[in-house]
Structure 1
Amino acid sequence: MTPRPSPGGRPALPRPDDRRRTFPQLAPRDARDGRFAATWWGNAWVDALEDTALDPARLARGQAYARRGHVDAITVTPGRVVAYVHGTRPRPYRSEIRLRTLGDDDWERFLDKAAARPDHIAALLDKDVPHALEAVTGLLPAPGDLIPDCSCPDDGFPCKHAAALCYQAARLLDEDPFVLFLMRGRGEQEILAALTRRNAARSAAEAGAAAPALATVLARSVLAPTAEDTVPRPLPPLPAPLPAPAQPGRPPVHPPDPDAPDPLALDLLASEAAARAHAFLITGHDPVAALTPWQDAVRLAAAHPGSGLTASTRALYRDLAYALDRTPTELARAVAAWRQGGLAGLTVLEEPWDPPAGPFDRARPALLAADHPAFRPWRNRLSTRSLQLRYGRDGLWYGYESDADREDWWPRGTPDTDPVGALTDLLGR
C-alpha cells in the first residue's frame, strides 16, 4: 500500500492498527516460586484461569511449557489472545484465550474515573493499574471469564497448550497493562486520546469564564472642542485598574506543522512566561530564583495543564524526571502536590517533621468529635487505611488519599487550617 501524502506534501506513514498487537516470542524463564506474574493484575489474570481449571496436572504441564519458551509470538486483539504453542508433535497447535470485551458505558465510566485524578493517569503512564480503576468496570477477569481453546485433540479445560499461553500472557500484562485494556476492547492510543479530549474539555470550561468588563472613557467627551472652551479641559480620572486574575492565563493551542517549532515547546514557553508574569504582578518578586532544579522541574511540569497525557507530554515527564534521577510517577506525584499548595505543598509531600505541641495534638480529638474515624499519628501525619492528613510548617492541613493499605499517598483536596475542614473537602471530592 502506498502511503497517502500529508497536507504538507510529504508521504504519511501508514497508520498502525491500535486494536491489534503482536508480541515476539518470550524467552524461557525459570519461575522458581511457580508464579509467572509480578504485578497484582498479572497474578489476578493467572488466578482467573487456575480457579476454574479442572485438572491441576494440565496446569503444571502448561507452566513447564511456558517456562521452556514453547509459546510462539502472541497476538492480542479485543476479546482474544492467540499463539502457536509447541507440544510433543512437530507441528505446533493454535491456542487461544477468549474473554468478554467491555461495553461503551463501561469504558465511559473507566475514562471518567481515570481523567478525574492525575494520580490515576500518572499510574497508567508508568505502567501501573490503580485498584480503584479496576473496581469501576471489572477490568480483570473473574473465575470463568477466560475461555481457553486449542487445536490439539485434548479436551481438557484448559489443555496444557492453552494454559501455557495464559501464563505467558500474564508476563505481557506485567510489562504493559495496556495489553489488558486491548483484551477488553480498547487500544492504547484510543484510550490516551479519549483522556486527552476529557482534559481539553475541562481546560476549555475553565478558560471560558467571562472576563471582567473593561472601564472606558469616550474620546469625544475629552477631545471634542466646544464654544465655551477657552482653556484646556482637565482630563477625567483614569479607570480603576482591573483586579489581578486568580491564576495565569493559558496560551492558545498551536497546531503542529513540520516547518514550525514544536507546539509543546511553544506552549511551555508561553505558560512559563504567563506564570512568572502573574507572580510578578501579585507578589512583586520572581518565584523561581530560590528554587532547586528539582523544584523548578516540578513547577515547570505543573504549569502545563494536562501534562503526561499525550506522547509529547509523556516525553516531557520522562525527560524532566530522568534528568534529575527521578521516575515519571515521582514527578507526577510532586506535580499534584505543587498544584495543591505550591512550594509549601511540595515540602509537605517530601519532608516529614515533628511538629511542636499544639494544633497537631488537638487534631485527633477534633476529628473524633466530628465522627470521623480514628487516625494513626506518625510525625506530622494522621492516617487511616486510605486517608491521610499532613500538617505543614505553614500551619495548614493537607489531604492525601491512597488505595486501601497500599501506602501510595497522593495529594488531594484543598489545604485548610482546620483538620476537619481539610478532611471534609477530601471526602467530598
Structure 2
Amino acid sequence: MSGYWTGGGAGSGGGDGELTFAALPPVRGGAFTRTWWGRAWLKALEDTALDGQQVKEGRRHARAGAVGAVSVRPGRITAVVQGRDGTAHRSDVLVRVLADEEWDRLLDLAAGSAGHIAALLDHEVPPHLVEDAAAVGVELLPGIGDLEPECGCEAWDHCPHTTALCHQVARLLDEDPFVLLLMRGRGQRAVVDALQARSAARAAGLAPAEGPAGAADGGEAGPAGVSAAEAYALCGILPPLPAVPVPVAEPGEPPSLDTETDPDPGVEPAALEFLAADAAARAHRLLVELLAGRAGEAAEPSVGQDAVRLAAGGPPSWVAARLAARTGRSRAGLDAAVRAWRWGGAPALAVLDGEWVPDGEALARAGTRLAAAWDEGEAPKLARSGACWTAGDAGVQLRLGEDGRWWPYRRVGDEWRPAGPADRDPAAAFTAAETAEAG
C-alpha cells in the first residue's frame, strides 16, 4: 500500500490534510479484509445500506479493480469508480469528525497504556482501546448510519459505487489503521506527536511515591531511569532496515545419513536424504523469489500432486515406484503425470486427469475460439469428447483447461502424452503437438 500527503495542514491538530492511495489491484478470492477493525468497517456498511444486493455488487466491483485512487481526508473518502457499463462516477463516503474534546479523551486513554501506544505504532487497533474509548463516549469505529454516501450516479442510498469504495478502504485499513484516525480528523503525525507529548508529561510528572522501589518509604532510592514503556512510546524515528541479503547461488547440501548406525525399523535414510534435498531446493527457490519481489501465495498441493512433484525431481527408481503406488498410478501413468507437471504444474495435472468437464457456456466459447483459429479450409478435423478435441489422423489432441487455455497432447502408441505448455491459441497448441518429439 502506498500513499502520499497533499494539502497544506496534513497531520496537523486541525487535521486538514489529505492522504491519497494509488488504485489497488483486483482481489482474487478469499476474504476481503483480514483484520477485526476492517471487518467492523464493512459491518457498519452492511448495517447502514438498505439494499444488501448493492453491497454485493459493490464488493464485485472492488474485487475487479474498478476503484481508482482513494483520497482520504477528515470526514470524507473519495474515489472514481467504474460502473459495470464502464461509466465512471465520483463517489464519496462521509464520516463524522471527532470534536477536540473527544480527541483529548481518546489520546489520554491511548497515552495511559503502553500497550495501546505500542499497538498503534505497530499499525494495529487494540480492541481494549476501542472499548475504553466507547466507555467515555468516543466512537472510534463507525456504526449503523455512520457511513453516509454521496455518488455521481445520484443514488439516494448506498449504491454499488460507494459500497465498492468502502470495500477498498477496508483493504487500506488492514494495512494502516491511521487511515481511520485521519477520517476522524487527525493524521498519523498529529496523533503520534500528541501521544509523545502526553507520555513525556507523564514521565516528567511522576510523584515520589511513584518512583523507584524503596524511595517512597525512606529507603535508598534506586538508580534513576526511564521505564521501558515510556522509552518505547518516545522512540521517535526507527533505525533504517538492514540491506536486503544476497541469496547464495545454490541451495546447501543436506547432511548425509549414511552412517555406521543402523536406522530404526521403517526408516529409510536414502528417502530422507532425497526429501531433505527437495526441501532445501524449494526453500532456496522461495527465498530467491521473495528477495526479487516475485513471491506469491501458492495453493497447498494435495498429497497426489505433491507425489507427482517429488517424482518430477528425479528420485531413485525405487522411490518413484513408491510414489506411483501412493498416487494409484502405473509407472507409465506416473511418467505422463511428471511430463504434465513439468509443462504446467497442478493445472496441467488436472487436465491430464480429466478433472473438469466443460458446461454448455464453456463449450460455446471453445467452439468460437476453434472457428477463429484457422483460415477457412485449413482447420483440422477434430472430434470432441468431453474436454478433448482429437485429430486422429494427425495423432494430435487438444485438451481444454478450466481457465480457457489449450493443452497439446500427442499419441504415443495407445497413450496420449502431454506435448507442451498451454496456449490461448488452439492453433498454436495444435502445432506444438504436431512438432513435439514422440518420446
| TM-score, normalization by structure 1 | 0.47
Structure label with greater radius of gyration = 2
TM-score by length of 2: 0.46
